[in-house]
Chain A
Amino acid sequence: MAAKAQAAWTAFGAAVLVFMLSPLVLVVFFSLAENANATFPPGGATLHWYGVLFDNADFWKALGNSAIVTLSVGLVSMIAGTLAAMALARSGPKLANGVIALITLPIMLPPLVLALALATGYSSLGLPLGLSTVIPSHLVFTQPFVILVVYAQMAGFNMAIVDSARDLGAGSWTIFRTVILPIIRPTLIGATLMAMAVSLDDFIITYFTIGGGMTLPTMIWGMLRKALDPSINALGSLVLVATIGTSLIALRLTRYRG
C-alpha cells in the first residue's frame, strides 16, 4: 500500500515536472525542426529557422537594444548597488533593514503595476520613451538584487580586516581597492550577472516604457502576434541559453565564499 502511494506521488511529481519543463524543451525542439507551423510531426532537423532569424533586420536591432540595456543595467547596478550596500552595511541594522524593505518594494509589486506606474510617471514628466527610459526602469527592479546580495556579504564582513588595513596606513580608496574589492569580487560579479539576466528577460516593463523600439522580448511578442514562425523558437532558444548561462555563472560565483 505504502509502496503504491509512493509510486503515485513519484508519478505525480514527474507529471508536474514534465508539465513545467516541456514547453521549454519544445521551444528548443521546434527551433530545430523543419515543420513551419511548429507542430507535430516535426519533420527533419534543420538550422533553417536560425538562418531566417539572422536574416531579419529587426532581430539585429532588437539584439543591439537588448545588449545596450542589459550592459548598462549591469554596469549601473554593480556600481550603484555596491556603493548603496556599503553605505547600508555601515549604518545600523535597523536603518539598513528599513531601507532594504523600501527599495525591494518594486520587486514585490506586480510587474504590471510597476510598468504602469513608470509609464505614467514618464509621460507626466514629459520624457520621450525609448532606451533612455527603459534603462532606469530596469534599474528599479534589478538594483535591489545587487544591493541585497552585496549587503548580505558586507553586513557579515569582518570589520577587523578594514581596521587592520587602516591601521597599516591605508586610506579609504586603498582599502577598498586592495582589501574589500578582492574579497567581494565574486559576489559582485554574480549579483551583476543576476541583474543582467533579469533585465534581459524583462518584457512587461520594457514594453510599457520603450515606446516605438524593441528589445528581444518585445520583438518576440511582436512576432507572435503575426504568426507562430519557428524563427521565434530559435530566438527563444537563444534567450534561454543566454539567461540560463549567466544565471548559472551567477549562482556559482555568489556561492563562492573564499
Chain B
Amino acid sequence: MSDPLLRLRNISKNYRETQAVHPLDLDVERGDFVALLGPSGCGKTTLLRMIGGFLPPSTGTIEIGGQDVTALGPEKRNTNMVFQGYGLFPHMTVAQNIGYGPKIAGRDPEQIDLDVVRMLNLVHLGAVADRLPAALSGGQQQRVALARALVMRPSILLLDEPLAALDLKLRKAMQDELKSLHRAIGGTFIFVTHDQGEAIDLANRIVVMEAGRIVQQGTPEDVYRRPASRFVASFIGDANMLSAVRKGGEVEIGSGRLPSPGPDGPVLVVIRPDDIALAGDGPLTLAGTVTESRFMGPYLRLVVTLADGTAVTVHRPSGAEGAAPPPMGSTATLGLPAAACSVVAP
C-alpha cells in the first residue's frame, strides 16, 4: 500500500465504564469514499468525531497526510464536517454561511466572493444565496452545509449521517449529487451511516462496525458477497444462514461438501437469496418444498422450507425466461454455487 491519507493507529475511546470504540487501526487512501456503517451505538459517529478533532481519543494516534494531528482541535485540522443537524448559522444568509470559513481563515475578500459563487453553483443554490437557512428546504440546507465545508478545500470531508433527515426521494437525489460531487472534486470523503443501501450505493469502501469494533472492511461487493461474520451478513442485505458442521476442513451442506479451512464445530453457511438457483444440478443442492411465493416487482421472492424446517429465501428476476414460478407446495431442488457461499462462526 502507498502512503494512506488518513492513518489511525490503536485509536480507542472510553467514557468512564463504557468503551465506545475499542482500539482499532484504519487507513483511508486519497480519493476514497468511505462508509462507516453500523447500527446506532456501534461507535461510528464517535470514530468520525475523533477524526474531525471534536473528541480526543483515549489512546492512539491520528495522522493526516503524514502529520500527527492527534492533539489538534477541529479548527486546526484540514478536515471539514457536515453535521447531522447541518449546524447552519441561522442569523447568516446562505452566502454568509459559505463564506464564514474563508473569512475566518483571512482569505482575500474578493477571492472569498469568487469561491462562494463557485460553491453556490456547484451545489445549485445560486438562486437562494441571500436567504436565511430557515427559509430553505431540508435538501437545500444539506447542500449549504456541504458547500460550507467544501469551500475550505478539506483534505478529508467528514459527513455525519448526511442524508438521515431527508425523505426517501430527496435522499436518492442527494446520493446521486454526493457521488457526482465526489467525482467532480476528487476529494476524500468519509461518511457515517446506518443505512446499508446508502453505504453500498455511495462508498467504494465500507467499514462495518459493531459494538465499537471494526468487524469487516472492503469494497461493497466484498462485504456483501463475502461477509466475515454472522453480524455483517445479517446487517447488509438479505441473507440465508444455514446451520452446518465443519469437520476436517470441510462443511457438509445438503448434498455436498464445501471446502472451508478452520476448526471443527458448528458453523453457518451464508448465501444471498439472489445467488441460489431454483433448479439446481450442481454439487451442492438442497431439497425442499415451496411454501411462499411473492411478486416483489423486479423479482420473485420464494421461500423454500427444507426437511429440517429451515426456511430458505430465494430471489429470482420476475421477468426471467418466461418460466412460471414453481407452484406452492411443489418440491424444489436449490442449487448453491460454492463461490457464493461464505462460512462464518455461528
A159-200 vs B, Cβ < 8 Å mask (1 yes, 0 no) = 111111111111100100011001100000000000000000
B189 at the interface (CB under 8 A from A): no
Q: Is the CB of B104 within 8 A of A170?
A: yes
Residues of chain B whose beta carbon lies under 8 Å from any beta carbon of chain A: 52, 54, 73-75, 79-81, 83-91, 100-101, 104-105, 145, 148-149, 152
Chain A residue numbers with a CB within 8 Å of B75 are 166-171
Taking the closest CB of chain A, its distance from the CB of B73, in whole angstroms, is 7
Choose one: A166, A167, A169, A179; the contact of B89 (CB below 8 Å). Answer: A179
Q: Is the CB of A168 within 8 A of B80?
A: yes
Given contacts A166-B73, A168-B148, whether A183 and B90 have CB atoms under 8 Å apart is yes
Q: Is the CB of A163 within 8 A of B84?
A: no
| A168 vs B75: C-alpha distance when bound (angstroms) | 6
A124 at the interface (CB under 8 A from B): no
B interface majority secondary structure: mixed
Chain B residue numbers with a CB within 8 Å of A182 are 91
Choose one: A160, A167, A174; the contact of B74 (CB below 8 Å). Answer: A167
| A192 vs B283: C-alpha distance when bound (angstroms) | 83
Residues of chain A whose beta carbon lies under 8 Å from any beta carbon of chain B: 158-171, 174, 178-179, 182-183, 258
A interface majority secondary structure: helix
Chain A residue numbers with a CB within 8 Å of B89 are 161, 164-165, 179
Q: Which residue of chain B lies nearest to A168 when distances are taken between CB atoms in the complex?
A: B101
| A258 vs B54: C-alpha distance when bound (angstroms) | 27
Q: Is the CB of A165 within 8 A of B73?
A: no
Taking the closest CB of chain B, its distance from the CB of A51, in whole angstroms, is 48
Q: Is the CB of B105 within 8 A of A161?
A: no
Choose one: B83, B84, B90, B104; the contact of A169 (CB below 8 Å). Answer: B104
Taking the closest CB of chain A, its distance from the CB of B27, in whole angstroms, is 23
Chain B residue numbers with a CB within 8 Å of A158 are 85, 87
Q: Which residue of chain A lies nearest to B101 when distances are taken between CB atoms in the complex?
A: A168
Given contacts A168-B148, A168-B152, A169-B105, whether A160 and B91 have CB atoms under 8 Å apart is no
Chain B residue numbers with a CB within 8 Å of A163 are 54, 74, 81, 83, 87
Q: Is the CB of B80 within 8 A of A167?
A: yes
Q: Is the CB of B104 within 8 A of A258?
A: no
Provide 28 A-B residue pairs closer than 8 Å at the C-beta atoms, listed in order of the A residue.
Answer: A159-B87, A160-B84, A160-B85, A161-B89, A161-B90, A163-B83, A163-B87, A164-B81, A164-B83, A164-B88, A164-B89, A167-B74, A167-B149, A168-B100, A168-B101, A168-B104, A168-B148, A169-B105, A170-B75, A170-B100, A171-B75, A178-B100, A179-B89, A182-B91, A183-B90, A183-B91, A258-B90, A258-B91
3 shortest A-B CB distances, which residue pairs? A160-B87, A168-B101, A164-B87
Chain B residue numbers with a CB within 8 Å of A169 are 75, 101, 104-105, 152
Chain A residue numbers with a CB within 8 Å of B90 are 161, 183, 258
Taking the closest CB of chain A, its distance from the CB of B89, in whole angstroms, is 6
| A166 vs B86: C-alpha distance when bound (angstroms) | 14
| A165 vs B91: C-alpha distance when bound (angstroms) | 13
| A182 vs B83: C-alpha distance when bound (angstroms) | 21
| A179 vs B149: C-alpha distance when bound (angstroms) | 17
Given contacts A160-B86, A174-B104, whether A167 and B81 have CB atoms under 8 Å apart is yes
Chain A residue numbers with a CB within 8 Å of B52 are 167
Q: Most B CB atoms within 10 A — which of A158, A163, A164, A167? A: A167
Chain B residue numbers with a CB within 8 Å of A178 are 100
Taking the closest CB of chain A, its distance from the CB of B180, in whole angstroms, is 24
| A131 vs B149: C-alpha distance when bound (angstroms) | 53
| A168 vs B151: C-alpha distance when bound (angstroms) | 10
| A234 vs B149: C-alpha distance when bound (angstroms) | 61
Q: A160-B85, A167-B75, A167-B149 are in contact. List 5 more A-B contacts (CB 8 A).
A: A160-B84, A160-B87, A164-B145, A170-B100, A183-B90
